[in-house]
Amino acid sequence: MLNKIKIFLIPTSFVFLLVMPASPSYKLKDFGFGSGGTAGSASPNYSIEAITGEVSGGKETGVNYNFGPGLIFTNQANVPGAPTFDNPGSYYNKLRIILNTSSNPTDTKYAIAISDDDFVTTEYVQSDDTVGTVLGSEDYQTYSDWGGASGTTVIGLSPGTEYKVMVKAIQGKFTETGYGPEASTSTVNPTLSFNISTNSIDFGDLIPGSVNNSPQNIVASFSTNGEHGGKIYVSGSNEGLSSIAANHTINTVSDNLASVSVPEGFGAQGVSATQTSGGPLTIAAFYDQDNDVVGATDQTIRDIFNTAGPIIGGDGTFLLKAKSSLTTPSASDYQETLTVIASGSF
């Protein structure tokens, strides 16, 4: 009996796919290595380091330490300890940070992460001390670049806000650490306090032809944490001592009241400017006069004291001087209303 055998051929094609490790910046066409591993293999766009026999498993962590096995962890720089993070000047828009190098070499570079919401979102201290959302290579700086023992002041922060920071280190290829422990502090709210020592001054009777000083000085007390300090201003409503009954005004002047060429006049003179800290508080040149020279207190608002920086316990003292003449009409209602204003430059 003859057996018939039929053979059916089914065309089949095979496709072999090989996916290489790649990114937009590099492609590793061969990432194998022999016994002993490889160190520092590199191209213009990438570097790789690996070793056979690497211990498996993750790193061990605790409150005060991190421990990881193997070559990569051995190469890493020391994880920076918690930095000093404080507000030495009662700042409302900046804070100071002093890095903890944890004995890393001087060429080690550090990056600083900062957050105002407990690192739900993370930003980074930039090389110009501002805060940004991107950490660039230029934002890794040495301990010296970050101000050394004096630290650096992080600027552009929000008032009345708690911030947290943490720092990581890198010292060459394959050495970047994770972030170290956190430190926290807060900015304060902008502040300004102001007071004057008296709200009424009575000259009494003016002796014609003589310069009469106010019986007491006026002290303007001033404190502010304004980054650019602040000023105290003075102005007058009546432009001098005005009498309704006599229909006459002893005009305010900027002159030497003792001069015979000035028959009558009224004005203010700075006496002193002091502070507990900060400042310093100074007398504005227009009122910084001697003897019987005064500055006018008209309706123009002029600064009488100023400071270029935050100040605590500032006291600006000034007095008033007046002179009448033999022809000045007599009256008991000569008066002036002075307005004293304080402002901060935030």
Same domain, 239 and 327: yes
Query: What is the predicted pLDDT for the residue at 340?
Result: 98
* Domain finish residue from 50, 74, 98: 74
Examine the domain organization and report whether 258 and 327 are in the same domain: yes
Domain identity same for 101 and 244: no
Residue 245: other Cβ atoms inside 10 A: 11
C-alpha span between 128 and 141 (Å, rounded): 11
Q: Are residues 43 and 172 in the same domain?
A: no
Identity (one letter) of the amino acid at 209? G
Question: What residue numbers bound the domain in which 226 lies?
Answer: 192-344
Same domain? 96 vs 138: yes
Q: How far apart are CA 141 and CA 99, in angstroms?
A: 11
Which CATH number do you get for residue 241? 2.60.40
Q: Are residues 114 and 57 in the same domain?
A: no
- Tokens 């409302």 belong to 92
**Do the bridges between strand 218-224 and strand 60-61 make them parallel or antiparallel, or are there none, so unpaired?**
unpaired
How far is residue 110's CA from residue 346's CA, in Å, rounded to a whole number?
31
* Same domain assignment for residues 239 and 332: yes
**Domain total for the chain?**
3
Question: Are residue 112 and residue 47 in the same domain, yes or no?
Answer: no
Per-residue pLDDT of the chain (346 residues; tens, 9 = 90+): 444 444 444 454 444 444 445 555 555 554 454 545 555 566 666 666 655 555 544 445 555 555 555 555 667 899 999 999 999 988 999 999 999 999 999 999 999 999 999 999 999 999 999 999 999 999 999 999 999 999 999 999 999 999 999 999 999 888 999 999 999 999 999 999 999 999 999 999 999 999 999 999 999 999 999 999 999 999 999 999 999 999 999 999 999 999 999 999 999 999 999 999 999 999 999 999 999 999 999 999 999 999 999 999 999 999 999 999 999 999 999 999 999 999 999 9
pTM reported for the whole predicted model: 0.72
Last residue of a domain, one of 121, 156, 186: 186
Q: Which of 138, 156, 186 is the last residue of a domain?
A: 186
- For residues 155 and 130, the answer to whether their CB atoms sit within 8 Å is yes
Strands (DSSP E) found in 72-161: 84-86, 94-98, 109-115, 123-125, 131-132, 141-142, 152-155
The answer as to whether 267 is a domain residue is yes
Report helix, strand and coil shares of the chain as percent, to nearest 5.
5, 35, 60
In a domain, 155, yes or no: yes
- Cβ atoms 323, 211 nearer than 8 A: yes
Same domain assignment for residues 173 and 252: no
Residue 231 sits in the same domain as residue 252: yes
Are the CB atoms for 270 and 284 separated by under 8 Å? yes
Say which CATH number the domain at 142 has. Answer: 2.60.40.10
Whether 229 and 332 map to the same domain: the answer is: yes
